[in-house]
Amino acid sequence: MNRRDFLQTSAGLTLSTAGGRAVEGYAAEFASQKPRVGLIGCGWYGKCDLFRLIQVAPIEVVSLCDVDKMMLAEAAGMIAERQASKKKPRTYGDYRQMLKERDLDIVLVATPDHWHALPMIAAVEAGADVYVQKPISVDVVEGQAMVAAARKHKRVVQVGTQRRSTPHIVEARDQVVREGKLGKIGLVEVYCYYHMRSRDNPPDIAPPEHLDYEMWTGPAPMRPYNKLVHPRSWRAFTEYGNGIMGDMCIHMLDMVRWMLELGWPKRISSTGGILVEKNSKSNIPDTQTATFDFDNMKVVWQHRTWGHPDDPKYPWGATLYGDKGTLKVSVNSYDFTPIGEGQPIHRDVVYELEQYPEDKTEKDLERHVAPAIRRHMQDFLGAIASRGRPVADIEEGHISTTSCILANHALQVGRTLTWDAERQRIVGDEDASKLLRRPYRQPWIHPEPNRI
């Protein structure tokens, strides 16, 4: 039995994913043979994910990769302080060199979106189970290849759509939706009114010496460097992601799909564009509406990066309309309002600052999201132990990601797209079909599902 099989077998005997400061019931053998973890992408959210994993599992972070030397060094020092061994991980500027060691049990991928597909596929090929941030891909064919790679290599892949593991949202699904309090649901509105699109128009400059900008750009089109590109503002550009659809819509659409057990939408339409904030360097829409048609269920998305939200208590969330009541859900709370008789229900997000005091001082941590990430990591570990599918399996992530990408394509071509889920293709629209695979910048080679 090799080391990885030993970890999976011993953990599977006793692992529980039901809360607590650590994953309860780890076998003594598992604790002594700690899973070896690597992180690709050491920015804000990569560290956030990794620190939550450290909080719930006896792991050893042995490898880090980032193309920013300053970010990489900072992460190595922080991890040495946070993990039990106090050891500083090895550092790499190229994920391929890190994975060449073939000594990692778990890999976290938290790069910008245009760098999700290739590292995730390489990680499962190297024998690791993977936690990959959402959206899983910047084009549809990338996502198809990622699902194919996970299945071929029999790896567990969890996607960072942690609304599926958010305690109060799980309660809303179980105690409101599943108990039938909403009655017949025909319409769901999902939305984001955060002013999160950059309004700046900074000049292009030379990249800083500590950043390998060639590698940072990778398979994406090469843009001149400016401060919006790195760090954290790269979502301002379609070259690196899918805008607010790929950042915020995917979370809420995925949550609704999970709550209502929806699969693929049949038709997707979208309108919008840059209607107000025309002076920014950003090239993503500031206003967009999209309809995801599931036949008897319509899910309608809207974002505006300007103006006021419709409900200040729910600036980013979902509203489920039933003939017996209405449910509003966000990362901070949920509210059920019945029609006629019945009691309203209100719940707030569950914080765990006393159980996890490090949450109080961690830089840039979204404290209300930390419990959800911990439970998402526990679910991931449980799937690794059982070799089953996690709650946000890569295929579920592909459905939600592709749906958002198709909405952007519908906006681009100006018409409704019909999606054939079985054949994984757009029906009867040659121009839109050409958008399913983005050109890769040389020498990077686009992954193909039939070549995995």
Structure confidence by residue, pLDDT tens digits, 365-404: 999 999 999 999 999 999 999 999 999 999 999 999 999 9
Low-confidence ranges of the chain (pLDDT < 70): 1-32
Cα–Cα dist 218/296, whole Å = 42
On whether residue 363 sits in a domain, the answer given is no
Looking at the structure, tell me whether residues 221 and 240 fall in a common domain: yes
- In this prediction, residue 57 carries a pLDDT of 96
Domain harbouring 314, CATH code: 3.30.360.10
The per-residue DSSP string of 424-445 comes to TEESS-HHHHGGGSPPPPTT--
Structure confidence by residue, pLDDT tens digits, 281-300: 999 999 999 999 999 999 99
Tell the burial category of 341 from Cβ atoms under 10 Å away from its Cβ (0-12, 13-18, 19+): exposed
Of the candidates 260, 288, 246, the one whose C-alpha atom is nearest the C-alpha of residue 187 is 260
Looking at the structure, tell me whether residues 43 and 140 fall in a common domain: yes
On whether residue 444 sits in a domain, the answer given is no
Looking at the structure, tell me whether residues 181 and 99 fall in a common domain: no
* Tokens, residue 161: 């759509």
Looking at the structure, tell me whether residues 316 and 339 fall in a common domain: yes
Element (H, E) at 200: none
Looking at the structure, tell me whether residues 187 and 258 fall in a common domain: yes
Looking at the structure, tell me whether residues 148 and 19 fall in a common domain: yes
Cα–Cα dist 121/157, whole Å = 10
Looking at the structure, tell me whether residues 7 and 145 fall in a common domain: yes
On whether residue 261 sits in a domain, the answer given is yes
Looking at the structure, tell me whether residues 239 and 332 fall in a common domain: yes
Looking at the structure, tell me whether residues 259 and 237 fall in a common domain: yes
Sequence-ordered list of residues with C-beta below 8 angstroms from that of 452, at least 6 positions apart, any chain: 121, 145, 148, 149, 152
Sequence-ordered list of residues with C-beta below 8 angstroms from that of 214, at least 6 positions apart, any chain: none
Mean pLDDT computed over every residue of the chain: 93
On whether residue 450 sits in a domain, the answer given is no
On whether residue 250 sits in a domain, the answer given is yes
Looking at the structure, tell me whether residues 426 and 340 fall in a common domain: yes
On whether residue 452 sits in a domain, the answer given is no
**Number of structural domains, the chain?**
2
Contact 216, 40 (CB under 8 A): no
Sign of the C-alpha dihedral computed for residues 294, 295, 296 and 298 taken in this order:
positive
Domain harbouring 66, CATH code: 3.40.50.720
Cα–Cα dist 403/178, whole Å = 24
Looking at the structure, tell me whether residues 330 and 252 fall in a common domain: yes
Per DSSP, the three-state class of 271 is: strand
Residue 309: give the domain boundaries. Answer: 165-353+398-433
- In this prediction, residue 33 carries a pLDDT of 75
On whether residue 213 sits in a domain, the answer given is yes
On whether residue 358 sits in a domain, the answer given is no
Looking at the structure, tell me whether residues 237 and 316 fall in a common domain: yes
